Amino acid sequence: MLWDLIGSGAAVLTMFGFVPQILKILRTRSVQDVSLVMLLQFSLGIFFWLLYGLYIRDNILIVANAVSFVTLVIADALYFKYRNG
């Protein structure tokens, strides 16, 4: 029961980990200190996790990484929107 909470907490916290960064970009419209390499590296990595989840047909991997991937696409788009000021 405790360990279910820790596992679920881990999943939720990391799955939505980029949401605070997205909200901050929307608020400040500035991405000067945000690493584009970080965003692209996570985007590709999470996409690979999603593909791997589909391959091994693991629903938790699929859902968690599909959600994360959507947040990363949003973060990437905002980065390019605001990169020049």
Site track for its own copies across 22-61, x = CB under 8 A: -xxx--x-xxxxxx-xx--xx-xxx-xx-xx--x------
Minimum gap (Å) between residue 67 Cβ and its own copies: 13
Q: CB under 8 Å to 62, separation ≥6 — which residues?
A: 50, 53, 54
CB-based contact 25:82 (threshold 8 Å) = yes
Distance CA 1, CA 56 (A): 27
Residues that bind its own copies (CB under 8 A): 3, 6-7, 9-14, 16-21, 23-25, 28, 30-35, 37-38, 41-42, 44-46, 48-49, 51-52, 55
